[in-house]
Amino acid sequence: MTKARILALATTAALSSLLLGCAADGQAPNALSAGSPVAAVETAAVATPATIDNFMLADTDYMGHELYRSGAKAIVIITQSNGCPIVRNLSPALKALKAKYEGQGVEFLMLNSAIQDSRDAVAKEKADYGFDIPILMDPNQLVGEQLGVTRTAEFFVIDPKTWKITYRGPLDDRLDYGSQKATAEHTWAADAIEATLAGRQAMAANKMSPGCLVDFPNRKVAKISYSKEVAPILEKKCAACHTEGGIGPFAMSSYEMVKGFSPMIREVLRTDRMPPWNVDPHVGKFADDKSLTPTEIKTVVHWIEQGAPRDGTTDPMAVAAKKRVVQEFPLGKPDLILALPTYKVPASGVVDYQRPIVVNPLTEGKWVKASTYVVNQRQAVHHFLSGYLKDIPADGKGNESRWGASMGGYAVGAESTLWPKNVGTYLPPGGAIGFQAHYTPFGKDVVDASKIGLYFYKDGEKPGLVMRNSVVVDNTIVIPPGEARHKETAYLNVPKDMLLYSAFPHAHYRGYASDFWVEYPDGTKKLLLTMPRYDFNWQREYSFAEPLKIPAGSKLIAHYWYDNSKQNPANPDASKTIVWGDQSWEEMFYTAIRYRWTEETSAKLTNYDQLMDETRLLAMFDDNLDGKIQKAELKGELGDKLSPYFAQMDQDKSGTIENAELMAALKVMGGRRRDQAQQAPAPAPAAPAPKAGGGR
Ligand code: HEC
């Protein structure tokens, strides 16, 4: 059915039957069409809660929205589902409402809890009907259930001071079953917004709203079993950290502990704060996925909403807690153990990232096949990352902008990094290994003395294939003060066929969201990973379940969104323009990748990393991905330096800078650039190519 036809229909008496049926675009009519209006009134009688609970949902663009982080003076949530004519009919009225109130600090969100609607279908509906309000996807229906949603086109007006729902009902009285007025007599939703802004009580609080019914199959679920259903989930997905002496602040060591923390457990699942696994589950398949499945989330949350009842005579959490032992080196005795410098973690406060180094004692190069961290103070260590440093840094700092090949990282539950069979990373003799260490105070002074164990391919069993790492990095970022969703873009041109094993997005306190795409040589694009909400506290590598084939001529594209507003609770200063820097109050755009060049063997090393680096700088500036630099794209410290010479750099007078022109200009600037490189972080912290024959 075309848009024009829907609108035409909606403005005639046929509206009433459409409203009741809600069958459009060939979609199956929902519950109401089969029933009667009487049934509708009954179903609509789900009570409205007094307040709305916090949640984090991603919208159709995979941008995360945490309700309680909103800085709005009033929030309006409108329920939506695809193919519902009354929602479509609302589009112009919603635009007008938004235009009137957005400037007064009112935030508008739509909520899709319809299980039949895919994210892509909703994105299309949003575009087709011109909704300029984020549509939040609620695939687990937890938000819709808590709000007591029964229909679409319902308006919930919320007061963020108290999270009270000040109004629930239709926009106004213009549309009703079987009739439609030219203008509204009662503008209930707008009145409620005015009242909420003014701190008054709304005149009408709860009105039956005409709209399409939404199916909530789990609204009433049978009694869920703690011992058979809930405990196994918590044991598998939470207890590695929430154990005695673990990093989690409480141990899930018994029913009583779980019950006591159950309201918090519900909250962290609804806000997607736990477990720490920040990629969206709908994009990509990852090895060692730590997230909960939708069924697991619903099981735990519904069990808690049932009052977290106990059953069974034995307590599986208590039994498992007694058996849990942490093995020091689960992969066996390492070939080399390196002790990280000890670090005194204070009882409270914020510890900035530490960048210790350990001098490499090897006198001959080795091929690494695995590494394991033995974390000494498990409660205090959030993560370790590592990278080879060719030269021992004079300042003793192992900053990641200087790193070459990675020796693996640590995140709780991921102590070991195992290279795939027959694949290794070359660790040359000499130099040092730099670490990034994130310590978090937990209420007690402790001294951490962690170590890393490295496993090498033995003499004579050198791996056939070479793991490499590089970074999609952008040190030209400029983040304006106060901006809540500032976007930056950078990419890498992939010069030869590549197998991509993992990606690891990294930003600092202002990082809000990030994603990672491949654009194939034919111009089609695929989203490989997305983080609707980036969490600085949790750094980890996301390994693809199967390595991805990236053909020569592709682009690997990363986007980051930064929240430099006051609403960002981690923002140290919302009044500053932020540029690239190592310190956490500066920013990074740094998606680390691990990959192999398909053609490369350890017997025949390639220079493909160098080829990839040749267009790296251009790809940092080139925000519109057209392969050249427009003047406006010259940003950041280096961009500001180059900008005055734009006309001179543009040798062929094409109005844009191509890579050859950029390289030529940098050559001319050579001397000056070398000076600068000593102050600023190197643009390309790529893996140094292992020297041919250096492996063995
Ligand atoms: C990788 C380790 C890890 C895993 C796995 C993990 N947690 Fe946590 N959890 C933590 C840490 C550390 C904190 C302290 C807050 C922080 O640092 O984010 C925490 C805090 C919490 C809190 C307290 C509220 C808060 O945000 O401080 C709850 C509740 C919780 N976790 C529940 C869970 C549940 C439920 C699971 C499994 C579904 C889980 N956690 C899995 C490490 C973990």
Residues 294 and 412 in one domain: no
The Cα 309–Cα 661 span in angstroms is 70
CATH assignment of the domain containing 610: 2.60.120.230
Query: Do the domain assignments include residue 410?
Result: yes
CATH assignment of the domain containing 135: 3.40.30.10
Query: Do the domain assignments include residue 218?
Result: no
Q: Is the predicted pLDDT of residue 24 greater than 60, yes or no?
A: no
Query: Do the domain assignments include residue 486?
Result: yes
Domain end marker among 181, 198, 215:
198
Residues 512 and 452 in one domain: no
How confident is the model over 432-445, as a mean pLDDT?
92
* pLDDT tens, position by position, 250-276: 999 999 999 999 999 999 999 999 999
How confident is the model over 46-63, as a mean pLDDT?
95
Q: Which atom of ligand 1 is nearest to the CA of 290?
A: 5
The helix (run of H) or strand (run of E) holding residue 317 is helix 316-323
Distance, CA 261 to ligand 1 centroid (Å)? 11
> If you compute the radius of gyration of the chain from its CA atoms, what whole number of angstroms results?
28
Say how many C-beta atoms besides its own lie within 10 A of residue 25's C-beta.
12
Percent of the chain with pLDDT strictly greater than 90: 72
Q: Are 616 and 683 in contact (CB under 8 A)?
A: yes
Q: Are 580 and 685 in contact (CB under 8 A)?
A: no
Confirm or reject: Cβ of 233 under 6 Å from ligand 1. Answer: no
Query: Do the domain assignments include residue 661?
Result: yes
Q: What is the pLDDT of residue 45?
A: 62
Per residue, the 3-state secondary structure of 441-485, as one string, reads CCCCCEEECCEEEEEECCCCCCCCEECEEEEEECCCCEECCCCCC
Residues 421 and 544 in one domain: no
Residue 617's pLDDT band, with cuts at 50, 70 and 90, is: very high
Q: What is the pLDDT of residue 312?
A: 87
The Cα 581–Cα 479 span in angstroms is 12
Q: Which atom of ligand 1 is nearest to the CA of 413?
A: 1
Percent of the chain with pLDDT strictly greater than 70: 89
* pLDDT tens, position by position, 515-574: 999 999 999 999 999 999 999 888 888 999 999 999 999 999 999 999 999 999 989 999
* pLDDT tens, position by position, 653-684: 999 999 999 999 988 887 554 444 444 333 33
Per residue, the 3-state secondary structure of 212-266, as one string, reads CECCCCCCCCCCCCHHHHHHHHHHHHCCCCCCCCCCCCCCCCCHHHHHHCHHHHH
Cα angle 30, 33, 36 (rounded to 5 degrees) comes to 130
Residues 300 and 357 in one domain: no
Residues 355 and 301 in one domain: no
How confident is the model over 349-376, as a mean pLDDT?
93
CA distances to 1, 30, 79, 317 from 33, in Å: 18, 6, 19, 47
Q: Which atom of ligand 1 is nearest to the CA of 300?
A: 35
How confident is the model over 419-436, as a mean pLDDT?
94
Which of 20-34, 229-243, 390-404 holds the top average pLDDT? 229-243
Query: Which of 259, 261, 274 to mutate for ligand 1's pocket (most ligand atoms within 8 Å of CB)?
Result: 274
The mean pLDDT value of the chain amounts to 87
Q: Is the predicted pLDDT of residue 473 greater than 50, yes or no?
A: yes
Residues 553 and 452 in one domain: no
For the chain, the distance separating the N- and C-terminal CA atoms, rounded to the nearest angstrom, is 68
Residues 489 and 558 in one domain: yes
Q: What is the pLDDT of residue 244?
A: 86
Query: Do the domain assignments include residue 221?
Result: no
Q: Is the predicted pLDDT of residue 6 greater than 70, yes or no?
A: no
Q: What is the pLDDT of residue 262?
A: 98
Q: Are 15 and 180 in contact (CB under 8 A)?
A: yes
> Beta strands 590-597 and 498-506: pairing type?
antiparallel
Q: Is the predicted pLDDT of residue 36 greater than 90, yes or no?
A: no
Domain end marker among 431, 458, 485:
458
Query: Do the domain assignments include residue 686?
Result: no
Helical ranges in 11-84 per DSSP H: 15-21, 31-34, 37-43
Confirm or reject: Cβ of 52 under 6 Å from ligand 1. Answer: no
Q: Is the predicted pLDDT of residue 3 greater than 60, yes or no?
A: no
- Tally of structural domains, the chain: 4
**CA nearest ligand 1 atom 11, residue:** 248
Residue 219's pLDDT band, with cuts at 50, 70 and 90, is: confident
Q: What is the DSSP letter of 353?
A: P
More confident residue, 1 or 433: 433
Residues 363 and 424 in one domain: yes
Confirm or reject: Cβ of 380 under 6 Å from ligand 1. Answer: no
Residues 263 and 124 in one domain: no
Q: What is the DSSP letter of 644?
A: G
**CA nearest ligand 1 atom 27, residue:** 249
Cα angle 29, 32, 38 (rounded to 5 degrees) comes to 165
Q: Is the predicted pLDDT of residue 426 greater than 50, yes or no?
A: yes
Q: What is the DSSP letter of 61?
A: T
Q: Which long-range contacts (CB under 8 A, 24 or more apart) does 318-322 make?
A: 318/253, 318/254, 318/255, 320/231, 320/235, 320/239, 321/239, 321/243, 321/244, 321/251, 321/252, 321/253, 321/254
Residues 416 and 495 in one domain: no
Confirm or reject: Cβ of 242 under 6 Å from ligand 1. Answer: yes
Residues 563 and 587 in one domain: yes
**CA nearest ligand 1 atom 12, residue:** 248
Confirm or reject: Cβ of 270 under 6 Å from ligand 1. Answer: no
Distance, CA 274 to ligand 1 centroid (Å)? 5
Q: What is the pLDDT of residue 683?
A: 34
Q: Where do we find the tokens 């609108």?
A: 7
Domain end marker among 323, 351, 377:
323
Q: Are 511 and 638 in contact (CB under 8 A)?
A: no
Distance, CA 56 to ligand 1 centroid (Å)? 16
Confirm or reject: Cβ of 248 under 6 Å from ligand 1. Answer: yes
Residues 164 and 272 in one domain: no
Q: Which domain holds residue 601?
A: 468-679
Q: Are 534 and 512 in contact (CB under 8 A)?
A: yes
The Cα 445–Cα 450 span in angstroms is 16
Confirm or reject: Cβ of 297 under 6 Å from ligand 1. Answer: no
Q: Which atom of ligand 1 is nearest to the CA of 261?
A: 29
Confirm or reject: Cβ of 577 under 6 Å from ligand 1. Answer: no
Query: Which of 234, 268, 317, 415 to mutate for ligand 1's pocket (most ligand atoms within 8 Å of CB)?
Result: 268
Q: Are 189 and 76 in contact (CB under 8 A)?
A: yes
Distance, CA 98 to ligand 1 centroid (Å)? 37
Distance, CA 248 to ligand 1 centroid (Å)? 5
Query: Do the domain assignments include residue 203?
Result: no
Say how many C-beta atoms besides its own lie within 10 A of residue 26's C-beta.
7
In 494-550 the beta strands, taken as DSSP E runs, fall at 498-506, 511-519, 525-531, 542-550
